[in-house]
Amino acid sequence: MKPRVFSGVQPSGSLHIGNYLGALKNWVTIQDDYECIYCIVDLHAITVYQDPAELRAGIERLAALFLAVGIDPAKSSIMVQSSVSGHAELAWMLTCVTPVGWLERMTQYKDKAARQKTVGDGLLQYPVLMAADILLYQAQIVPVGEDQVQHLELTRDIAQRFNSLYGETFVVPETKLPTVGARIMGLDDPETKMSKSATGAYHAIYLLDPPEMIRKKIMRAKTDTQPAVDFDHLGPGVANLLTIFQAFTEWPDEKVRRHFAGKRYGETKKEVAEAVIAGLEPIQQRYRKISADRAYVADVLDRCAARIRPIAEETVQLVKKRMGLYTRA
Ligand code: AQP
C-alpha cells in the first residue's frame, strides 16, 4: 500500500505563488508515489470572519485551481473539510488532550491574534483542527511550506500525547518541505513571507494574475543598492527572485549561479517574470476551462468525499473506543 499524504489550503483570499511553490506544486509531483488527500480547509478559514458569499465562491475557485495545477482526481482525493464531519468531531476530542500553553506558543496565533480586535477561540484552536485533519486519515506525510512546520510539530506532539494516554492510535506524521520555495517572501518586503492577507498591491503574485501584471509586480520588486547579482553578497530581495526563478524552472543551483552571476537587476527581473509567466500560463488556461464547468467540479468534490469518508469514520470510531465514548458494541 502507498504511504498516505494529507495537506490543505484555506479557501480565503487568492492563491499566490508562495502557496503554489511551497505546497501545491509539490502535491502534484508526489501524487504517483503516495495516496494523496488534498483538502480545502473551509473550517480553518472561518477562524477569522469571512463574508459567506465570498467564502462559498472561494471554495469552488480553489477546487478548480487544484484541478488546474494538475491534481488528478483519479489518483488523488480533492475534498472540502466541512463535507466530512470527522474533522470537527476529532478536533474536539484532540482539544481535550491539548494543553492550552502549547497553543498560546504558536507564532501564527500570536501574529494573527495581534491583528484582530476580538480574538475568537477558533484562532487559538486552529492547529488542533489541523492536527485532526492529518490524524483523521492516519497520514504519514504532510507536504507544506516552512510556515507550517511549527504546526506540524504540534500535530506530532498531540498524536504522541494521545497515544501515551490512550494507547497506540495515531500514526505520527512527517513534514515534507519542497527543496526550493519552502518560504517565498513578499516582493515589496523580502523580510516577510508572501501572504494572502498582506495588503500591498505589489506584495504577491497571484496564480491568476495576467502576464502584464506579473511583469509589473516583478519589475517593482524590492532589491538593494547593488547594480547586479553578486552571489557573495546576495540581498534578500534578489535571493527571493532567484528562488522564484529556480522553483519555476527547476534549474539546478550551479546553472542558476552561472546564468545570473553579474547580471544586472533589470535584466534579471525580466527573466524571472518570463519564467513565472511561462509556469502559470498552462495553469491559467486549464483554470478557465475547468471553472466554467461547475457541475464537473462539484462532482469531483462529491466523489472524492465519498471515497475517503470511510477512512475518517474508522478513525473516529477508534478514537471514541480508546477514550471510552459511546460506540455500538
Ligand atoms: N510564502 C509562502 N512560501 C511558501 N509556502 C507558503 N505557504 C503559504 N505561504 C507560503 C504554504 O501554502 C500552503 C497553504 O497555506 P494556507 O492555506 O495556510 O494559506 P494561508 O495561511 O491562507 O496563506 P498565507 O498566504 O500564509 O496567508 P496568511 O498569512 O494571510 O494566513 C501551506 O502549506 C503553507 O505552508
Divide the 329 residues of the chain into consecutive groups of 10 and give the mean pLDDT of each group.
96 96 96 98 96 98 98 98 98 98 96 90 97 98 96 98 98 96 97 93 97 98 95 96 98 98 98 98 98 98 98 98 92
pLDDT score recorded for residue 328: 82
CA-angle at 62, arms to 151 and 104, nearest 5° = 20
CA–CA separation, 159 and 168 (whole Å):
9
pLDDT score recorded for residue 159: 98
Cβ-contact 178, 25 below 8 angstroms = yes
pTM: 0.95
CA–CA separation, 9 and 81 (whole Å):
10
Q: Which residue has the cell 509531483?
A: 29
- Report how far ligand 1's centroid is from the alpha carbon of 159 (Å): 23
3-state secondary structure 173-224: CEEECCCCCCCCECCCCCCCECCCCCCCCCCCCECCCCHHHHHHHHHCCCCC
Grid coordinates given for 127: 492547529
pLDDT score recorded for residue 186: 98
Alpha helices in 42-136 (DSSP H): 42-45, 52-69, 86-95, 100-104, 107-114, 121-136
Grid coordinates given for 211: 502576464
pLDDT score recorded for residue 251: 98
- Report how far ligand 1's centroid is from the alpha carbon of 19 (Å): 5
CA–CA separation, 241 and 162 (whole Å):
43
Mutate which of 147, 183, 205 for ligand 1 pocket (most atoms within 8 A of beta carbon): 147
What is the spatial order of strands in the sheet that 174-176 belongs to? 77-80, 35-40, 4-9, 141-143, 174-176
| Catalytic residue check, 321 | no
- Report how far ligand 1's centroid is from the alpha carbon of 195 (Å): 6
- Return the amino acid letter for 298: A
Work out the number of other CB atoms within 10 angstroms of the CB of residue 156: 18
195 lines ligand 1 (CB under 6 A): yes
CA–CA separation, 95 and 158 (whole Å):
9
CA-angle at 125, arms to 124 and 126, nearest 5° = 95
Work out the number of other CB atoms within 10 angstroms of the CB of residue 245: 24
CA–CA separation, 67 and 76 (whole Å):
10
CA–CA separation, 22 and 180 (whole Å):
8
Residue 264 sits at φ, ψ, to 5 deg, of -65, 150
Listed residue (67, 108, 37) closest to 207, CA to CA: 67
| Nearest atom within ligand 1 for CA of residue 182 | 4
CA–CA separation, 315 and 86 (whole Å):
8
| Catalytic residue check, 75 | no
Which of 2, 110, 117, 193 does the annotation list as catalytic?
Answer: 193
Beta bridge partners of 8: 39
| Catalytic residue check, 289 | no
Alpha-carbon torsion (233, 236, 241, 243), positive or negative: positive
DSSP single-letter state for residue 6 = E
**Burial (CB count <10 Å: 0-12, 13-18, 19+), residue 297:** buried
Taking the chain, what is the end-to-end CA distance rounded to the nearest angstrom? 29
